[in-house]
Amino acid sequence: MDNKDQEVMNILKEWKLVKERLDVSFRSRSFKNIKEWMEKGIELFIQFILKTNDRSFFQGTLQFDQLETKPINLEERLAFIKARPNLYHSYRQLSELMDEQEKHFAKNTIKKKSSKPMA
């Protein structure tokens, strides 16, 4: 496993913890820290999408049109989530974005491995 793959795995591991916290908070209707957890989830998603597009950071506005691997309607969905982080629907959208990007990452990893010449 290369460094990028390890970083992606760390992001996904951290997302799992954030997701579990959000699940519990929404189920118990304990809205006290949801915004903070959602902001952490959004931050993890942005790190994830940058890593899976071989970008280490961005300055200013994230240019969605420059990303090769991304979920459908990313810009609109992320704008909705950022505008309404306290809503359950925003949490579901964020979860879906993470799942979709993880599938893209897995697909691209398999493609890269299958295209490498055998030693």
**DSSP 8-state symbol, 72:** T
pLDDT at 37: 96
Q: What percent of the chain has pLDDT over 70?
A: 90
Judge whether 112 and 2 are in contact, CB under 8 Å.
no
* DSSP letters spanning 53-82: TT-----SS--GGG-SS--TTHHHHHHHHH
CA distance 67 to 53: 6
Phi, psi (5° rounding) for residue 20? -60, -40
CA distance 94 to 82: 10
pLDDT at 118: 61
Judge whether 71 and 48 are in contact, CB under 8 Å.
no
Q: Express each pLDDT in 42-91 by its tens digit.
A: 999 999 999 998 876 665 566 777 888 899 999 999 999 999 999 999 99
Task: Identify the band that residue 17 occupies on the pLDDT scale cut at 50, 70 and 90.
Answer: very high
- When pLDDT is averaged across residues 16-28 and rounded to a whole number, the result is 95
